[in-house]
Structures are given as structure tokens and as C-alpha cells.
Amino acid sequence: MAQHLLRKYSGNVPRYTSYPTAPHFHEEVGPSTYATWLGALGARDTVSLYIHIPYCDRLCWFCACHTKQTHKYEPVRAYLDALYREIETVGALVSDKARVTALHLGGGSPTMLEPEDLIELKARLSSAFSFAEDAEISVEMDPNDLDGPRYDALAAIGMNRASLGVQDFTDKVQQAINRIQTFAQTRSVVEEVRKRGVRSLNCDIVYGLPHQTMETLAETIDDIIHLNPDRVALFGYAHVPWMKKHQTMIDEASLPGPDMRYRLMNRAGSMLRDAGYVAIGIDHFARPEDRLAIAAREGRLTRNFQGYTDENATALIGLGASSIGKLPQGYVQNNPATGVYQKQALAGGLTTLRGVAFTEDDLLRAHVIERLMCDYQLSFADLSQRFGAAAGTILAEAQSLVAGDDEGHVALVGDRLIVADEAKPFVRSIAACFDAYLAQGRGRHSAAV
């Protein structure tokens, strides 16, 4: 069964953290469109902010993020000046009645910021936007950056959720991906952030890395379980050297093949479930009492560029080079070229390079894909209530999908399309059947598992 599923579904497909996906953004959506969309946010709207810091003091070869390595702090400080100006520009366009319910600092490595710069960044954001008292403030953390003053600065800005990159604790794997990080070092970070009031801790693990074996990954998972994080993200390594040239430093001969990747994923997931974690979608796990697990149980799980989330803000505003935002009208992306971004931001303009305005069909299919990715099922009664007669198009496509599936990987049960348990790891490929853009062939994607 596993081999058949792999042959059928393990092709390259989008991760569906958005729909339409980023390769279909275009430059017809630019600064003027974005300004109009921002201005439409009002007193009843809530906002989630994402801040991108595109710098690291080391470059991990497995990474597919938009970042660059620097051993000097001057480029980072110059970038912050541009970021502060963008914060002012965007904040002036958004109603001060709109409330910020979440702030996420990502990268790159936001923890490489000097303590005083972390505090200044939060002060600038608080000046430009209205924060809710209970706003979630999360930070992606690199243990190699952290020290006492930085921990204190993170506490000072109100960090209450931390995301800690681990990937793998095996020496040989760490050498192969240029990510040296000991278990003791990681445990120290966990202890320090919990001392300072972090109420939710996430650890990232990656399967499919060079030289990984069932035994070495199991050792990493066992170590993670002993750290007792509230959430674990188990990502499949996305080998995309055509997009991220530094990945050419990884010997492709040392990468596990599709069958081994599938086995690694299953072993890690089984260990986490046995330790009491609840599986959330294709690659997240959470303690049963965690907000993410509760959202999944209540059917409130959503998906954005950070993966699975319980956020339900009206708008996601991305700040910084390459950041992507989502508003009710569509997606926008800032210029990814750091130098160009800085010039545009310092000039007082929006740095929007491209985006996409939603059509009614986009909204329909985005909902279908998100519910499949989050719930592994789709209610046609709910779809009809939300989208009216347009839901009939999806029902016809679902009927065709089920008719062509002799193995029962998908089924129509009552008014629902249901993904079978054995096919759940491949739900990206099933969701892709409802992607109206995929046949256009824009963009190259990572393996489904």
C-alpha cells in the first residue's frame, strides 16, 4: 500500500500555505493597490503582523528562506532603518482602531538583533499600530545567537511564544547541513525562555536531511520529547537548489529517497503521538491542551505562510524585504531584493513588488484547499452556504476525483468529501486536484512527502 501511495502521490506539489500560490503573483498588484487595501481596514478588523529579518550570522545549507549571511552588524542596522520607515508608512495607512492580535518575528534570524534593537523594533511597532493587550508575540530563535541580554530583551518586548529551530541533533547530519547545535545548548534555551514567561514553545524538526537514518532521527525525536515543547513542527526537507543555490552544498547522494522519507516521517510521527502529542494536519503536533490542538478539534484550524495556526485575524501584514501579506482583497509581496527594498522604504513609499487580487473562484478554491489541508474533509453543505451555486463546480470535480480513485483514498460520505487515513500524508496532492492554476506550470515545487 505504501509503495502504491508513493507512486501515485509523491510528486512535487505546492505546500498550499496560500492560494493562489506565490508563483502566480504578478506586478499588476502594486503599491497603489496595496495602499487602497490597507486603507479599507477598519475598527472591526484585526491584524496579524509578520516582520522579516533577512540576515543570519551563519547560512544553513538546508534553508529555503529568503536570507543572507553577514558577519558584520552594519548591514543589519541599515536594514532596520528602512524597516522602521516602512512601519511608519504602513501604520499611517491602517486605522488606529484596527487591533493587532499577533506579532511574529521571523527570518533569517531575528534573534541576531542586538538587545536594544529588539526593544526599539517593538517600540516602533507599538507606536504605529494598536496592539491588543493579549496579543501573541512569537519569535523564531537560533540558539547560537542567544545570551542573557537577548533573553531579557525578548522578555521586555512581551515574547510569549517561541519557535526554536532544531532540525536534527545528529553530528553527521549537522555537519552536512552546516547547522551545529548541541542538545545541551538547545535545552538551555528552553529553560531560559520558560523562566521568562513563554507560555508556548515550538520546536522545528526536519526529516529527509542528508545522512538521516531511522535510528538517528528517532534519537532526535526522543531528545525533543524530553524537552517537552508545547508544539512540534515536523517538516520534510525541501531540496530546491534551482531556487536556493546554497543547497548545492548538500551532496544529493546522501539524501534519503522517497521511500525512506516516508518511513522517516511515519517513525517520527508515531513517536510523537505515543508521547501524547496530537497530530495537526500534515506536519504539526501539539499537546492536547495547546491552542492549536483545541482549534483543530473545534474546526477552527487555518493555514498561512507560517504553517498551521489558530489565528483568525482579518489581515496579515508583512513588513520587511520579501514579506507576504494577506488582506481580504488579495495577497501582496514586498520586493525581495534587500537593497531595492531599503531604497523604496526609506523614500517613504510602499515596497510592494507583486501580488494577486482574489476572484470569487480563488476564494472558493482557497477554502476547499484549506479545509482539506486542515480537516482532511470538506462539507458541501457548508460550501453551498458560503458560496452558493458555485459550490456545484467543486462537487462535480470531487465526484470525478472519487470516480477515478479505485483504491478508496478519497470518498463521498453523505455531504462530505473524506480523505482516507492512509492517504492523509499525501493530502497536498489531493488538494492539488482543486488547484485551477497548477496546470499553468508556473513555479517548481518540493516533494509532497
- The 10s digit of each residue's pLDDT in 154-165 is 999 999 999 999
d(CA 93, CA 21): 26
Q: Which three cell numbers stand for residue 96?
A: 488606529
- Report the pLDDT averaged over residues 145-158: 96
- pLDDT at residue 12, as a whole number: 78
Provide the 3-class DSSP secondary structure of residue 209. Answer: coil
Domain ranges of the chain: 2-8+18-357, 360-439
Report whether pLDDT(441) > 90.
no
- Going by pLDDT thresholds of 50, 70 and 90, the confidence category of residue 412 is very high
d(CA 278, CA 301): 13
- Going by pLDDT thresholds of 50, 70 and 90, the confidence category of residue 243 is confident
Report whether pLDDT(16) > 80.
yes
* Number of neighbouring beta carbons within 10 Å of residue 159: 24
- pLDDT at residue 62, as a whole number: 87
Nearest of 164, 306, 308 to residue 316 by alpha carbon: 306
Q: Which helix (H) or strand (E) holds 401?
A: helix 391-403
- Going by pLDDT thresholds of 50, 70 and 90, the confidence category of residue 198 is very high
- Was domain 2-8+18-357 assigned CATH 3.80.30.20? yes
Q: Do domains 2-8+18-357 and 360-439 have the same CATH topology?
A: no
Task: Name the fold adopted by 360-439.
Answer: Arc Repressor Mutant, subunit A (1.10.10)
Q: Which helix (H) or strand (E) holds 99?
A: strand 99-107
Q: Where are the alpha helices (DSSP H) in 68-147?
A: 74-93, 115-128
Q: Which three cell numbers stand for residue 90?
A: 504602513
d(CA 196, CA 180): 25
d(CA 190, CA 224): 11
Half-sphere exposure of 119 (CA within 13 A, CB side): 10
* Number of neighbouring beta carbons within 10 Å of residue 365: 23
Residues of the chain above pLDDT 70, percent = 96
d(CA 50, CA 52): 7
Q: Which three cell numbers stand for residue 254?
A: 546522501
DSSP 61: T
Report whether pLDDT(56) > 90.
yes
